[in-house]
């Protein structure tokens, strides 16, 4: 029973954050005629208002809203790109918040951008090293080499955890120090909608929490295997 309870707790920790994010974004996705523009229209307006240069507004696949600093593009899901809803304008403002961070050269987003490619490569390299350890030890018969490779693999995989730790404050800043003041002070939202918009922005900021938990869980799984 304790093992089953532990498994249920781990599943809840892993799945509940992402479920909550998706639920919140869907909850406020209903089209509203009293909202003056779609997510794409608001994003384009804010890019011009804050003089962010040649940043484009593009449509991406559903659930993949993001700002690409390398390609200088704010990308919105179809349900946010084309629709006038609280979710659409809040997510659009959040992604433009990232564009503002990049335009101002803020430290954390620059660090995240530099680390993103390294973390992705490091995670794949780390997994390859961990899977290859038994074969290498069998061929070389050198336990010390296997331990060295295990440490290298764990450090490589840990880069993904570090990236998520850096990402969370970047996301919170984009939501609550950029998007919310913009929406509030620019009268883009009505006073009675502010609480809902805060919920949406919180969900947008915490999108990466599930990824961070997954990375930690994966790292913990490898540590548990190495201890056997």
Reduced to 3 states, what is the DSSP secondary structure of residue 68? strand
pLDDT in tens, the chain (228 residues): 466 776 676 666 667 778 888 999 999 999 999 999 999 999 999 999 999 999 999 999 998 999 999 999 999 999 999 999 999 999 999 999 999 999 999 998 988 877 666 655 555 655 555 555 566 556 666 566 556 555 555 556 556 666 667 788 899 999 999 999 999 999 999 999 999 999 999 999 887 766 666 666 665 555 555 555
User: What H or E segment, with its residue span, contains residue 143?
Assistant: helix 143-173
Burial of 52 (0-12, 13-18, 19+ CB in 10 A): middle
Best CA proximity match to 72, nearest among 108, 48, 96: 96
Q: If you compute the radius of gyration of the chain from its CA atoms, what whole number of angstroms results?
A: 21
Cα-based distances in Å from 34 to 31, 37, 87, 108, 149: 9, 9, 14, 36, 59
Q: How far apart are CA 182 and CA 126, in angstroms?
A: 41
């Amino acid at each position: 029973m304790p093992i089953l309870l532990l498994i249920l707790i781990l599943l809840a920790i892993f799945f509940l954050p992402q479920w909550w994010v998706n639920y919140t974004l869907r909850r406020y996705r209903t089209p509203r005629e009293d909202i003056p523009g779609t997510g794409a229209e608001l994003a384009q307006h804010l890019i011009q208002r804050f003089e962010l240069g040649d940043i484009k507004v593009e449509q991406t696949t559903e659930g993949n809203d993001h700002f690409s600093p390398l390609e200088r593009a704010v990308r919105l899901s179809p349900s946010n790109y084309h629709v006038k809803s609280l979710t659409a304008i809040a997510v659009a403002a959040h992604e433009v918040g990232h564009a503002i961070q990049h335009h101002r050269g803020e430290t954390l987003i620059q660090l995240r951008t530099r680390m993103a490619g390294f973390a992705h490569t490091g995670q794949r390299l780390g997994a390859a090293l961990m899977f290859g350890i038994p074969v290498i030890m069998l061929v070389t018969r050198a336990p010390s080499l296997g331990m060295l490779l295990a440490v290298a693999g764990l450090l490589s995989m840990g880069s993904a955890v570090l990236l998520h730790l850096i990402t969370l404050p970047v996301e919170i800043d984009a939501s609550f120090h950029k998007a919310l003041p913009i929406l509030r002070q620019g009268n883009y939202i009505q006073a009675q909608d502010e609480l809902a918009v805060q919920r949406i922005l919180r969900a947008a900021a915490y999108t990466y929490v599930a990824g961070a938990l997954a990375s930690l869980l994966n790292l913990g799984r490898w540590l548990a295997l190495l201890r056997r």
